[in-house]
Amino acid sequence: MADQGDTEGKTIRERMAEEELVKEKTDALGRRWKKAYFGGGEHFKNWLAQCRELGEIMVEEVDSTGYKCFEESGEKLFRIWLRMDDNKEDDLFD
């Protein structure tokens, strides 16, 4: 499902700046997820494969409005969220 946040009237620079602030989220069960990737295409497929090796993943489709290259190509835009056991997370994110 696409993230349909308040994108109307925002410039691409504003959208990208906001995306940089998105670093983690908590799901309905209270589990913490860290954003591992934002993008699409072949890079997305490569990141997805690598993240699967590191831990539990969740993929979220993001509204591509304003991202000209994604809009023109019809390509989808995604976030990959990663959840790992504490030992792996300490090594990678701290």
pLDDT tens for residues 32-82?
999 999 999 999 999 999 999 999 999 999 998 888 888 888 899 999 999
Residue 82: closest CA among 46, 38, 33: 33
Q: Is the pLDDT of residue 20 over 50?
A: yes
> Does residue 54 contact residue 92 with C-beta atoms inside 8 Å?
yes
Spatial distance between the Cα atoms of 82 and 72, rounded to a whole number of angstroms: 29
Helix (H) or strand (E) segment spanning residue 36: strand 32-39
Domain boundaries, the chain: 2-93
